[in-house]
Amino acid sequence: MILKQLKQATREHHLALEYQMPILDPLLSHENYQQLLSRFYGYYAPLEAQLLALSWWDEIDLDYNVRYKTPSLERDLIALGNTSDSLTQFPRCQELPEITTLSNLLGCLYVIEGATLGGQIITKHLQANLSITPESGSAFFNGYGAETSKRWQAFCMMLTSQAEQIDDDEGVISTANQTFVSLEQWLFPKTSKPLTPL
C-alpha cells in the first residue's frame, strides 16, 4: 500500500518538477545541459553526504554505495570540460530534506531512486540531440543502465517491508514531498532566470 500512497500523495509535486525539466527539449543546448547538471550536483553532493553518514543502512539491508549518484555527476561534469577543482566552487543546496528518522530516509530515497526510472529515454535523447553518451556526459541520467528496473524493484520490496515494520506512512510521504519540493526549488529557483534552451 505504501507505494500506491506515495505515488498518489506526491503526484502534484512530481508533475510540477517534471513540467519544468528541460532535459527532453529538442532545443536544449550543451550550455544549458551543463548548467542543469551543475544544479543536480549542487543538490545531490550534500544530500548524499548526509545520507551516507546515516546509521540505518545495515538495518534496511540496502547498500547505498552501489547507488551513490554523486560520482556519476562528477564524471559527467568533468567529461564536459570542468575540473575537479572547479566542482568545489559550484553552489551547494542548503535547504535539504530533514532526515532524522528511518521514515524520513525512506521517503527521500523514494524520490531519488525513482528519478532513475526515466534514464534510458533521457540517455537516448541526449545521444540523439547532443551526441552525449554515458561515457561522455550522461552517466547520471543513465541511472543504473540495464540494471535500473531490477534495482528499482529491489528498492520497492525493501521500502514496502520497512514501511510495514515502522508503521509511519505519514512520515515517509511527508519527506518524499519535502524532497520533491526542495529539489524543485533548488533546480528552478523562482528568483532566477528559468532554465530554458538557448
Residue matched to cell numbers 551513490:
68
Asked whether residue 122 is domain-assigned, the answer is: yes
Asked whether residue 38 is domain-assigned, the answer is: yes
Kindly report the number of other CB atoms within 10 A of residue 110's CB atom. Answer: 25
pTM for this model (two decimals): 0.93
CATH code at position 55: 1.20.910.10
Domains in the chain, number = 1
Domain coverage including residue 131: 28-93+102-187
Dump pLDDT digits (tens) for 164-198.
999 999 999 999 999 999 999 999 987 544 444 43
Asked whether residue 107 is domain-assigned, the answer is: yes
Asked whether residue 156 is domain-assigned, the answer is: yes
Burial of 159: CB neighbours in 10 Å, binned 0-12, 13-18, 19+: buried
Residue matched to cell numbers 528499482:
152
- 12-51 per-residue burial string, b: 16 or more CB within 10 A, e: under 16: ebbeebeeeebbeeeebeeebbbebbbbbbbbbbebbeeb
Dump pLDDT digits (tens) for 43-60.
999 999 999 999 999 999
Nearest alpha-carbon partner for 140 in 79, 57, 90: 79
Asked whether residue 15 is domain-assigned, the answer is: no
Asked whether residue 43 is domain-assigned, the answer is: yes
Asked whether residue 121 is domain-assigned, the answer is: yes
Asked whether residue 17 is domain-assigned, the answer is: no
Mean pLDDT by 10 residues, the chain (198 residues): 96 93 91 96 97 94 93 97 95 96 97 92 94 96 94 96 96 97 93 46
Structure confidence at residue 197 (pLDDT): 42
Kindly report the number of other CB atoms within 10 A of residue 165's CB atom. Answer: 11
